[in-house]
Amino acid sequence: MISAEKIPNNVNLSSNKRLQRALEHWQPKYIQWWRDMGPQGFQDYHQVYVRTAISVDPEGWAHFEYVKLPEYRWGIFLADPVHDRRIGFGDFLGQPVWQEVPGEFRNQLRRLIVTQGDTEPASVEQQRLLGQRCPSLYDLRNLFQVNVEEGRHLWAMVYLLHSYFGRDGRDEAEELLERQSGNRDKPRILEAFNEPIDNWLDFFMFTMFTDRDGKSQLMSLSESSLDPLSRTTRFMLTEEAHHMFVGETGIARILERTCQLMKQAGFSGDVRKLGGIDMPTIQKHLNLWFSLSLDLHGSEVSSNAATYFANGLKGRAKEDTFDEHVVKDSYYRMEFFEDGKPVTKEILMRNAMNEVLRDWYVGDCAAGVVRWNRILEQHGLSERLRLPDRKFHRGIGMYSGFHFDPNGVPLTSEQWEQRKHEWLPSTADAEYLLSIMAEPIYEPGKFANYIAPPRRGINQLPIDFQYIRTEQ
C-alpha cells in the first residue's frame, strides 16, 4: 500500500490521489526490479546502516537507521521553493518559472527527464555484484548507500513523469524498469551506463567521474524553467555529493596504500607482488572513466543543446555566475580536428552549450586529481595522476572517429590497437584486480590489503562499527 509513512515525501502524497494511483501500480514493479537487479546476495538477511531522507531539512535528511535493503523507504523530495523565482536564461529570461509543463516543450522535457532517470537504475545494475568482493564492511555500506540513493533518484524522475506527463509519463516510468544495463536488446540509453563495473577500482572511478557527470547534468537541470524539475534536481545534488565523496576518498585510500606498498617494495613500483594496485593500473582506470564520462556531455556542437538553452529547459552549471543569460550573439572558440590537424573556429555559444558544461566538468575533475596528487607528494613519490586529453578515447562527438594518445597526439588505427592497453585496462589488469578482490571482507574494522582504512567512520561512528549485520 502507498502511504506517506512508507514513502516519506514533501509533495503532499497523502492528498494526491492521482499520484497515489500511479505509484501503487509502479512501486511493486520497482521492488521486483530492486530484488532482481539490485545488490545480489544482500536482499533478505542483511540489515544495513543507511541514511534515509525523511525531510529536506538537515536533521530529517541525515536520518540513520538499520534497514533491510528492499524495505528502504524511498521517498520523494523537492528542495524548498524559491519565492517569486524567475526564468534565469534563454529566450524567456525574466518571466515567472513554470509550475506545469508547457505543451510545446513537453517532448523535450520528457526526453531530458527520461535520459536522466535512465542513468539511476542503470548504475545500481552495473554495481550489483560488487558486494561479493567488498574491501570492508565500511565500503560495503557506502556502496549500498549509493545504490539506495540512485534508486531514490529514479523515484524522483518517476514522480515528475507521473505528475506532469500523463499517460506517456506512466509508460516511460515502466520502461525505466525494463531497459537493462549492458542488455543487448534493451540497453540503457547512455553508453557509460552499459559498461560493467565488476571491481572496486572501477566503482570508485565511476563514483568519482561518472557521478560527477551526474552533478554536471543535475546542476544544469536545476536551472530549468520547469520549477518542479529544478527543485527535484536541487535536492538530488545533496545526495550526489556523497557519491563523489565515496569515489574520491576510495581512490585516495587506494593511493595511500599503494604508496605504503611502494615504499615496502623499495620504490621498485612493483606493488602487485605485494598484492597492491600499481600506479599504471590506477591511471588506466582513471583514463577509462574520465573519457566515458566526457562522452556523457554529448556532442561539442549541438543544436539540441541550443534549443534546450533557448527554451529555458537546461541551463549552464551555476548560470547566475555568468554575465549574460540570453547568449544570442556570443561565440565560443572551439578546437576542431580537420585533415589531421587542430583548427580553431568560432561557434555560436548556444550551439556550444554541451562543451561549456564539459569545461565546467573538466575543471571540477582536475581539482579532484590535484587533491589525489597531494597524497603522492606527501609520500615523497614522483609519480602523478593526470586527466587524459579530452580527445583521448572518445565515442561521441567530433573526435570519436579518430584515435589519440592521452596527450592528444593523433594516432593511426594500427598504432592505437598496438598501444591502447598502455592507457586503458586490459583483460590481464581486470583479472589481476579480480584476483585481489576474490575474498570479500565482512569483518568489522578489517580492510583489504590494497586499500587504507578511512580517516573516520560514518555518522561519527568508529571505523570498526558493525555497519551491516546479518539476521537469521
Closer by beta carbon to Fe ion, 243 or else 358: 243
Q: Is 118 in the site for Fe ion (CB under 5 A)?
A: no
Closer by beta carbon to Fe ion, 224 or else 283: 224
Closer by beta carbon to Fe ion, 294 or else 301: 294
Q: Is 227 in the site for Fe ion (CB under 5 A)?
A: no
Partners of 50 in beta bridges: 65
Q: Is 234 in the site for Fe ion (CB under 5 A)?
A: no
Cβ atoms of 132 and 88 closer than 8 Å: no
Q: Is 243 in the site for Fe ion (CB under 5 A)?
A: yes
For residue 331, the SS3 value is strand
Question: Burial code of 272-310, b = ≥16 C-beta within 10 A, e = fewer?
Answer: bebebbbbebbbbbbbbbbbbbbbbbbbbbbebbbbbbb
- 65-73, 205-213, 363-371, 438-446 -> range binding Fe ion (CB under 5 A): 205-213
Site string for Fe ion, 424-443 (x = CB under 5 A): --------------------
> Distance between terminal CA atoms of the chain?
26
Cβ atoms of 311 and 91 closer than 8 Å: yes
Classify strands 403-404 and 410-411 as parallel, antiparallel or unpaired.
Answer: antiparallel
Instruction: Tell me how far, at minimum, the Cβ of 374 lies from Fe ion, in Å.
Output: 25
Binding-site member from 46, 128, 153, 212 for Fe ion (CB under 5 A): 153
Q: Is 211 in the site for Fe ion (CB under 5 A)?
A: yes
Instruction: Compute the distance between CA of residue 222 and CA of residue 312 in angstroms, rounded to an integer.
Output: 11
- 143-151, 257-265, 271-279, 354-362 -> range binding Fe ion (CB under 5 A): 143-151
Q: Which of residues 253-312 bind Fe ion (CB under 5 A)?
A: none
Closer by beta carbon to Fe ion, 243 or else 403: 243
Closer by beta carbon to Fe ion, 79 or else 334: 79
Instruction: Tell me how far, at minimum, the Cβ of 182 lies from Fe ion, in Å.
Output: 18
- 100-108, 149-157, 325-333, 406-414 -> range binding Fe ion (CB under 5 A): 149-157
Q: Which residues contact 302 (CB under 8 A, 6 or more apart)?
A: 351, 353, 354
In angstroms, what is the C-alpha Rg of the chain?
23
Partners of 345 in beta bridges: 334
Closer by beta carbon to Fe ion, 160 or else 271: 160
Instruction: Tell me how far, at minimum, the Cβ of 217 lies from Fe ion, in Å.
Output: 9
Instruction: Tell me how far, at minimum, the Cβ of 147 lies from Fe ion, in Å.
Output: 10
Closer by beta carbon to Fe ion, 153 or else 393: 153
Partners of 404 in beta bridges: 410
**Of 137, 154, 141, which Cα lies nearest the Cα of 23?**
154
Instruction: Compute the distance between CA of residue 279 and CA of residue 412 in angstroms, rounded to an integer.
Output: 27
Closer by beta carbon to Fe ion, 9 or else 127: 127
Q: Which residues bind Fe ion (CB under 5 A)?
A: 120, 150, 153, 211, 214, 240, 243
